[in-house]
């Protein structure tokens, strides 16, 4: 199992990480950080790959919004639903949103697209994206790496318990995702209740 994982990650690890961080990427990047601690990947290679994927991903979404933003709003209802919320974030925090966009769950792809539809200068977005992508790559890579490092303080033979360690990290990531869904559902409860009352009244 360990040899198969090592061979697979040596062949495909970095380009899979690049694609993952191009799209969303927190979960895959944390796992890559753990794999770096286990020696399957290089931590500096993980940080650089994640930085590149994240940076080029947001640049792509920004220019996608600049060129095809109105069309995307018509085609994709998920973007249209989040459009007003994203605009409120942009109005409230200004260009700082360009820096924090990849840290906002559920808006990682939406915010760069909508920023591309605003009058934000492309060069300003590039520099903000450059700094943000680097800090994001470092933070989440080290999160996975330090998770493995912390486990090694309590377990002598980490390799022996490797599958359980990966399972524990996956469960932790799943709990983080679940908390976001629960929080979003809890916030929507008043609106859902009002909608039900309106339907009953109608």
User: How do residues 26-51 score in pLDDT, each as one tens digit?
Assistant: 888 888 888 888 888 899 999 999 99
Query: Which range has highest mean pLDDT (57-66, 95-104, 167-176)?
Result: 57-66
Rg of the chain over all Cα atoms, to the nearest angstrom = 20
- Total domains, the chain: 1
What is the spatial distance between Cα 172 and Cα 190, in angstroms, rounded to a whole number? 29
147 token code pair: 């998770």
Q: What is the mean pLDDT of residues 106-122?
A: 82
Share above pLDDT 90 across residues of the chain, in percent, rounded to a whole number? 22
Q: What is the mean pLDDT of residues 105-127?
A: 83
CB 52 within 8 A of CB 27: no
CB 58 within 8 A of CB 141: no
Question: Is the entire prediction scored with pTM above 0.75?
Answer: no
Count of other CB atoms within 10 angstroms of residue 174: 11
User: How do residues 117-171 score in pLDDT, each as one tens digit?
Assistant: 888 889 989 999 999 999 999 999 998 888 877 766 655 655 665 665 667 666 7
The residue range of the domain holding 118 is: 2-201
């Amino acid at each position: 199992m360990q040899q198969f994982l090592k061979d697979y990650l040596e062949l495909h690890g970095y380009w899979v990480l690049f694609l993952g961080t191009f799209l969303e990427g927190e979960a895959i990047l944390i796992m890559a950080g753990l794999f770096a601690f286990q020696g399957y990947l290089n931590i500096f290679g993980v940080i650089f790959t994640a930085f590149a994927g994240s940076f080029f991903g947001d640049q792509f979404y920004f220019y996608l919004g600049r060129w095809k933003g109105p069309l995307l709003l018509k085609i994709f209802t998920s973007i249209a639903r989040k459009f007003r919320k994203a605009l409120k974030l942009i109005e409230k925090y200004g260009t700082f949103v360009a820096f924090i966009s990849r840290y906002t769950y559920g808006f990682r792809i939406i915010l760069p697209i909508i920023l591309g539809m605003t009058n934000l200068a492309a060069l300003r977005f590039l520099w903000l994206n450059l700094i943000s992508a680097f800090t994001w790559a470092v933070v989440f890579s080290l999160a996975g790496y330090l998770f493995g490092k912390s486990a090694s303080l309590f377990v002598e033979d980490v390799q022996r318990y490797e599958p359980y360690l990966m399972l524990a990290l996956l469960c932790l990531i799943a709990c983080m995702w679940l908390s976001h869904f629960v929080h979003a559902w809890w916030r929507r409860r008043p609106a859902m209740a009002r909608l039900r009352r309106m339907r009953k009244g109608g």
